[in-house]
Every structure is written in C-alpha cells, then in structure tokens.
Amino acid sequence: MITAPESPAVIETNPFPHWFQREQAAALADYESTPAPTRRDEAWRFASLKALDLSAFVPAPEIASEGKLINASTGLGDFAARFVFGNNALVHHEAPALPEGVIVEPLDVAAYEHEALFRAYFMAQPVELGSHKYARLHKAMLTGGVLVHVPKNVEVALPIELFYWVEGENSSVFPHTLIVLGDNAKVTVIDHFKSADGARAFACGINDFHLGRGSQLTYAAVQDWSRDTLAFHLNSTLVGRDATATALLANFGGGYVRGESLSKLAHDGGRSVMLSMNLADGTREIDQHTLQDHAAKHASSDLLYQNVVDDAARTIFAGIIRVQEGESQTDAYQRVRNLLLTDDAIAVSMPGLEILNDDVRCTHGATSGGLDPDELFYMQARGISKKLAARLIVAGRFNSLVERIDNEALRDRLRAVIADRLGV
C-alpha cells in the first residue's frame, strides 16, 4: 500500500511544508524497519494478528460523494466549529461561534501558520502501548487532521464537531485531532469516524490532547467505521496542573479495532476520566490498552470501560495503573464491565498495577456476566420483548457513561447516537 513520500505522486499531493515532509519520509523508513507485532509481544498477546495484514489497502482516492457526506455530517444543533474530512481531505468547514484567538485549523495549514505550536505538540507524546509501528505509519501518511488550540483563559461555550469519513474499497485514512489548551482554557470536542459506503477500509487515527494548568477538556469519539475496517485509534492525554480531562470513546463499528489510551498525570492536582463504551458484535474484535500514568501528587484518574459482547465477537482489555516513585496521595480507579450476550462471546480482561509508592488509593477490577434474568423478566412483564429488553439494557449501560459528560448538548447527542445504533 505504501507509496514512499519521495515519489512524485506523494510530493504533489502532500500539503505539508518540506521540513515536515522530510520527517514523514523518516517516519516511513522507521515504520518499515519496525518489526510487525508478534504473539510474543505482551501488548499483542491476545490480538488476532492476521487482522493486521495491510497489503490490500491503498491510498484513499478523492472523495466521490462530497455533497452527500457534508449533508450527512450533522450532529449537534449548535456548534462552535464543524470540520468535515472525506478520505483525508477537508471537504467542509465552518466556524460560526469561535471566540477570538481560538485556532481550529487543518493540520497542514497549522504546520505553516502555527509552526511553533505544531512543532511543540504534534505527536510529542511517545506511543507506548504497542502500536508505535502504526503511529509511524500514521505520521508518514498524514495529510488531514485538525489542530484545536484554545488560548489561556478562553472558554469555548459550544462544542467543536469533527467528522472523518472514509469512502471506497480498501481506502486508507489517517484522522488526527490535536487539542492544545492554554491555562484555564475550556473546550468540548466530538470526533465522528464514519464510513460513507460500508466498504472495507483502513483507519489509523491519532488523538493527542495537551491540557494546560487548570484547563478542562471534554472529549467524545464515536467510532462507526464499516464492519470490515481495520482501525487503530491511539490516544494520549497529558494533563496539566489542576486540569481535568474527560474522554469518552465509543466503539460501534470496525472489524479489528485497536484502541490505545494513555493519560499522563504529570502535574499535581490533575484529573483524567477515561470512559469507553464498546459494542462488539458479529466477529468484531475490540482490543484496548490503557495506561493511567501518575507522575504527580494529588492526581486522580478514573477509568470505566463498558464492553458489550454479542455473537462471536471479542473484547480485550489490558489496563495498567502506574504510580511513579515519590508520587503520593494519588487516587486511581479502573473498572471494566463486560456484558456477554452469547455463549460464544469472549471478553479478556487484564487489569494491572505498577505501584512504586504506598500513599496511594487504587482500586481496579473487571466483572463479566450475562444479562440479569430478573431484570429481563421485569421488562418483559411490561410487554417488552426479550430482544428489545436486551437492547434497552445495553443502551442503559452506555447511557450511564454518558451521564459523566458535563456538556448537555453533547450528552443529548451521544444518547441519540446510542439509541440509533441500538434501535431503541
């Protein structure tokens, strides 16, 4: 699939400045020299490695149904900005309610016009949870993506909504959302990852968040790629002093979906809330790896993943809480709940602790179980069929996570997405 960036074909269409193109060429070389994951790698122990075969994928062509996609990119009634990408290209953008000084720009524009920001923050966090090879590929192939920068003391009242579409058989897309918040800045962002035509595709996305002192980020991602899509979503959040990040990742689509989420609490008083709702059905495999990395005092992290596994699908969760030496008075919670709807459904949970300190409060645990027969009976006794009751219970679990989001418009939007996906 890979066209070396040196080749004229890529140079012509590559929108980035030359200095970055050279970095991309280096990233491609790194990608190629990095060995593919094997079963012996701890981070890939349970993954279906044959899903990682990239040979069929091709660079995404120009989008054919631009107007249709733009029309379908509706979500929030009111938004501060909306950007729509189709096959990596920006096809629509509007910013009706962005406060003075807030930057929402495609990354290629940002690389020219906000070079210092771009250089300081673009992929500044190492990818530590297993997919470094694919992060290098992402960098090498990047053409789209968005930088959101909210300067010090600015609050963006309405959410920013980003749509990343893929179209065409075996198309490859590389979504990227980079959010940089100055001190005491506040913003809400939602990413939508969608397939235009249901065709098999390759999506390799990165979301990087940098929170300045006292800033607040509320972020949601709704991943709804087509059923055969191979998807990587690599997330990192760097939480500043007294800052709070709340991120909700919804995985509703894809074939093999690899999610990696790292929250680094590098400054005192930081807080990271890591939420995820995962609907694995058919033969989908959702393989998630998380790290709550505490390197500061009085920091807290709270992770709750709700997995629903139907049919012959699989979820894998491997999460680590790491408290570095000397970092006291830490609260870290990690909880995974697996709801298994069939006998063939599989949920693998591997919670882990690396605590190098004793003045910490950590709890972690994973629970797995089926639907509660008494809950089902109660609902059936109201005239609701067993099938619908199950869907309502699943939607209910997901909606309980949505309650943790502090933005009402976003909550409403997420509830609507859940209701739509589950047909309730």
The residues, any chain, with a CB within 8 Å of residue 349's CB and separated by 6 or more, are 317, 336, 338, 366, 368
Binding mask 348-377 for another protein (x = CB under 8 A): ------------------------xxxx-x
> Binding of another protein at residue 44 (CB under 8 A)?
no
State residue 182 phi and psi, 5-degree precision: -75, 175
Q: Is 398 among the residues that bind another protein (CB under 8 A)?
A: yes
Token pair 């579409």 in the structure block, residue? 165
Closest residue by Cα to residue 197 from 272, 274, 253 = 253
305 scored as a contact of another protein (CB under 8 A): no
Q: Is 170 in the site for another protein (CB under 8 A)?
A: no
Rg value, the chain, Cα = 21
> Which of 110, 395, 409, 422 is in the footprint of another protein by CB under 8 A?
395
Does 408 engage in binding with another protein (CB under 8 A)?
A: no
Piece of the chain touching another protein by CB under 8 A; list 59-67, 134-142, 354-362, 395-403: 395-403
Exposure string of 17-38, with b = 16+ CB inside 10 Å and e = fewer, is eeebbebbeebbebbeeeeebe
- Residue 116 touches another protein, criterion: CB under 8 A: no
User: From CA 274, how far away is CA 146, in angstroms rounded?
Assistant: 22
Q: Is 383 in the site for another protein (CB under 8 A)?
A: yes
Q: How far is the CB of 384 from another protein (least distance, A)?
A: 5
Of the candidate residues 386, 406, 412, 416, the single one contacting another protein (CB under 8 A)? 386
**In the complex with another protein, which residue's Cβ is closer, 49 or 376?**
376
Asked if residue 393 binds another protein (CB under 8 A), the reply is yes
The residue count for binding another protein (CB under 8 A) is 26
Q: Are 272 and 237 in contact (CB under 8 A)?
A: yes
DSSP one-letter code for 39: T
Query: What does the DSSP assignment read for 56-94?
Result: T-EE----S-HHHHHHH----SS-SEEEEEETTEEEEEE
- List, as one string, the DSSP characters of 21-37: HHHHHHHHHHHHHSPPP
Q: Does 141 bind another protein (CB under 8 A)?
A: no
SS3 content of the chain, % helix, strand, coil (to 5): 25, 40, 35
Q: Which is nearer to another protein, 28 or 392 (CB)?
A: 392
Q: Shortest gap between Cβ of 306 and another protein (angstroms)? A: 10
Shortest reach from residue 408's CB to another protein, in Å: 12
Q: Smallest distance, Å, CB 398 to another protein?
A: 7
Query: Binding of another protein at residue 115 (CB under 8 A)?
Result: no
When the beta carbons of 119 and 386 are compared against another protein, the nearer one is 386
- Which residue in 385, 406, 412, 420 binds another protein (CB under 8 A)? 385
Whole-number Å distance between alpha carbons of 246 and 211 = 11
Which residue number, 281 or 375, has a Cβ lying nearer to another protein? 375
279 interacts with another protein by CB under 8 A: no
Minimum gap (Å) between residue 386 Cβ and another protein: 7
Indicate which single residue of 380, 406, 412, 420 sits in contact with another protein (rule: CB under 8 A).
380
Q: Which residue has the tokens 């629970």?
A: 367
DSSP for residue 40: T
Which residues contact another protein (rule: CB under 8 A)? 372-375, 377-386, 388-389, 392-393, 395-400, 403, 424
